[in-house]
Structure formats: structure tokens, C-alpha cells
Amino acid sequence: MPYEIPAPMLAKSVPEVPEQDAATGGFSYEPKWDGFRGLVSWDGETVEIGSRGAKPLTRYFPELVEAFSRLLPEPCLLDGEVVVPRGEPGSQRLDWDSLTQRIHPAASRVTMLSETTPAMFIAFDLLARGDRDLQSEPFEERRAQLVELVAGLPHPIHVTRTTRDAAIARRWLNEFEGAGLDGVIAKPLAQPYAPNKRTMFKIKHARTADVVAIGYRIHKSGRGVGSLLVGLYDDGGTLRNVGAVSAWSDKRRLELVDELAPLVETDESGAALTGEGEKSRFSAADRDSSFVRLRPERVLEVRYDQLEKNRFRHTVQFARWRPDRDPASCRFDQLEAVSAYDVGAVLE
């Protein structure tokens, strides 16, 4: 029987890479891979890939299932990240869009994508080996066992690199973003594995941008603004949807409906005009993706961490309204350019 897959250990955000602290046992720093969290159970016969959520990933990555069953030298329970690299060797970066496309209901398409956009697995923890449960062991020991078990295996199984030098971790934070990674993780060396607990620390890029409000979705409760859609102008003067702002309080959601009412686009009868947004592959099929369209006249400042193909990689955070800004000045060229970096170099 496969190992029981626990809930993954989580990380809480901190503003900067923490310095080593001998009193607490110190830290191990590693790159923060931007993919699907995967807990891999291999009992010698069956492979299962559990996710951070309730959706198992096993059926979506047959090439990884085959690799685990062929390459893993003994039964084990791994914690890591499923990622998809794209590009030529020497200029590869992680491709989030290609990764999300791998979640598809049709078996034929899953098979096709496993060949055209194959994934790789980045292992960063070992929870069990043989009949030995390692979760109560300190991370320093689990890491040593992981390296002994997996480090010599060929692609597509890799072990993430680590350092105990905070200065190197800060350099990774800047350099590795160019390969599609989204930060650095600091793991206390002396701590056991803590399922569903935020005992690690994550450091991600924090940036701001001035964007234009272009629409809003109604909250799932049916009352108030659930998310505010925002856009930026490209070089040709076209306003592009780049993401959404959410996480409003109940009170603020209702206030925003009134505040934004003067900007709502209407037809000749005075009815609000709506648009249809993109749906996530992880959203329910019947989830309403429509939004109320707004005239692009109001600017807000948002906090974001990463850009992926001219869209904010994650939901952005509201910082403040910017009544002093002309919407036409909210362009892509205000965003910080990131130097390219090869995924292969991160794995070295």
C-alpha cells in the first residue's frame, strides 16, 4: 500500500531573508520553485502524487509516474514541486501557462501534453524512506537522507540546491527570478516536518505598479465587489487585462459598488455592460467568470511579486488610489525588467 500522504508543510511570508540564528539551530536556504506542490508516494508498486489541495495530480503527469517507478531506488515519500521548463538549453525558464495546461480532463490530451510539455520534479524534502517515518526528524537529517536517496538520479527527478549562507540566498532571490522562480525559502534546520503548519519562511519579490480599473466581479455571496480587474496599456495603446485585486473586507466590498457606480459602462437603456473573463482550470466548471465593465478612468497602485507573460502571476494587493495619475500613463514600461536566467543553472 502507498504511504499516507500528509498535508504539506507551509511557509509564512517575511520581508527579507532571515540571518542565521544559532540559538534556533540555523536555517537552510533554497530557491522557491514556482509550480504545483507535489507529495510523491512510491511503495515499490504504485505511484501517487498528492497536491496541496484536494485534487490528486497523478493522472495528469504520466511521464513523472513512469520516471518515479523506474528511477526511485526504494519506497519513499517525497515532498517537492512539479514544474514545466520551456526553451532551449541555456535559456530555459519555468512556464506557468504550460504547467496549468497539463490539468485537463481528456486522457488523450494528457498523454499528448506529457510528450510536448514534459514536467520535471524538484525534490526538497523526504518524509519517509522504506519503513522509516522521517517526519519527526529535524530537517537537517531529512535533507541528508534526501540527498543520499535522490541526488544521483537523472532527469526528470532533481534535488533542489541549498545554502546556509544568507548572502548567497539574497543573490538567488534576484538572479533566479529570471528563470521563472519566485523567491527563496528559509527552513529551520532543527524543526520536524509540520503538516499544514507555517513553520518555514518565504521571501518573495515585492513591487508596486499603477494600474487602471477596468471592471469588477460580483462576490460569490452575491453582494459587493469580489475582485477588481485591472489593466495596463501596451506600446500600441491597447488596454490589456493584467490581473485582479481581491481580499476586500465585507464592508469594503459593499462600499466599492457605490464608489465604482459612476464608472460602470452602460448600454442605451442604462443597463450595465458586462464582459467574460478567463476561467482557471482549477475553478468549478459552472463558476461565473463574467464581470461588470468600467470606463478606464480610475488609477490605483497595487503590490505584486511577479509578471508572467504580461499578466501578474498572482492576485495583486491593493495599496492606494492614485487620483493624480492619468490612466493613459499606466503602461507596461513602468514594470521592472528581469534579466533572463537558465533553469539548468539553478539546478547545478
pLDDT in tens, 115-173: 999 999 999 999 999 999 999 999 999 999 999 999 999 999 999 999 999 999 999 99
Residues 6+ away with beta carbon under 8 Å from 180 = 34, 93, 94, 95, 96, 308, 343
Closest to 125 (Cα-Cα) out of 160, 100, 95 = 160
Quote the pLDDT of residue 288. Answer: 58
Question: pLDDT digit string (tens) for 35-65?
Answer: 999 999 999 999 999 988 767 999 999 999 9
In this structure, the number of other CB atoms found within 10 A of the CB of residue 341 comes to 20
Closest to 298 (Cα-Cα) out of 223, 226, 215, 208 = 215
298 and 225, same domain (yes or no): yes
Quote the pLDDT of residue 281. Answer: 45
Q: Which residue has the higher pLDDT, 181 or 268?
A: 181
- 8 A C-beta contact, residue 313 and residue 96: yes
172 and 115, same domain (yes or no): yes
* Assigned domain for 84 exists: yes
Residues 6+ away with beta carbon under 8 Å from 151 = 159
Quote the pLDDT of residue 231. Answer: 96
Q: Which residue has the higher pLDDT, 274 or 294?
A: 294
Question: pLDDT digit string (tens) for 69-82?
Answer: 999 999 999 999 99
Average pLDDT of the segment spanning 258-286: 72
pLDDT above 90 as % of the chain: 67
* Assigned domain for 344 exists: no
Quote the pLDDT of residue 54. Answer: 62
User: Where does a domain end: 154, 171, 204?
Assistant: 204
CATH number at residue 119: 3.30.470.30
90 and 108, same domain (yes or no): yes
122 and 146, same domain (yes or no): yes
Quote the pLDDT of residue 309. Answer: 80
102 and 182, same domain (yes or no): yes
* Assigned domain for 263 exists: yes
Q: Cα–Cα distance between 311 and 151 in angstroms, integer?
A: 35
Quote the pLDDT of residue 277. Answer: 58
- For 61, 117, 161, 262, the CA distances from 85, given in Å and listed in that order, are 14, 8, 17, 45
As a whole number, the mean pLDDT across the chain is: 90
176 and 46, same domain (yes or no): yes
What is the span of the domain harbouring residue 74?
10-204
DSSP structure class, residue 16: S
Question: pLDDT digit string (tens) for 71-128?
Answer: 999 999 999 999 999 998 888 999 988 998 999 999 999 999 999 999 999 999 999 9
pLDDT band at 26; cut points 50, 70, 90: very high
* Assigned domain for 104 exists: yes
DSSP conformation letters of 106-155 = -HHHHHHHHHHS--EEEEEEEEEETTEE-TTS-HHHHHHHHHHHHTTPPT
Q: How many CA atoms lie within 13 A of 179 on its CB side?
A: 26
Quote the pLDDT of residue 324. Answer: 75
- For 50, 209, 211, 309, 320, the CA distances from 334, given in Å and listed in that order, are 39, 7, 10, 15, 17
Residues 6+ away with beta carbon under 8 Å from 327 = 212, 233, 296, 297, 298, 299
* Assigned domain for 5 exists: no
* Assigned domain for 86 exists: yes
Where does residue 194 rank: exposed (0-12), middle (13-18), buried (19+ CB within 10 A)?
A: middle
177 and 294, same domain (yes or no): no
Q: Which residues are catalytic, by number?
A: 32
194 and 242, same domain (yes or no): no
193 and 227, same domain (yes or no): no
pLDDT band at 1; cut points 50, 70, 90: low
Quote the pLDDT of residue 302. Answer: 92
Q: Maximum distance among all alpha carbons in the chain?
A: 71
192 and 218, same domain (yes or no): no
User: Where does a domain end: 204, 239, 274?
Assistant: 204
Quote the pLDDT of residue 283. Answer: 45
CATH number at residue 290: 2.40.50.140
Where does residue 326 rank: exposed (0-12), middle (13-18), buried (19+ CB within 10 A)?
A: exposed
Quote the pLDDT of residue 284. Answer: 46
Quote the pLDDT of residue 239. Answer: 96
147 and 264, same domain (yes or no): no
Question: pLDDT digit string (tens) for 323-346?
Answer: 878 899 899 988 877 788 899 999
Whether residue 278 is predicted with pLDDT greater than 60 in this model: the reply is: no
pTM of the shown model: 0.76
User: Where does a domain end: 204, 229, 250?
Assistant: 204
As for how many domains the chain has, the answer is: 2
Whether residue 270 is predicted with pLDDT greater than 80 in this model: the reply is: no
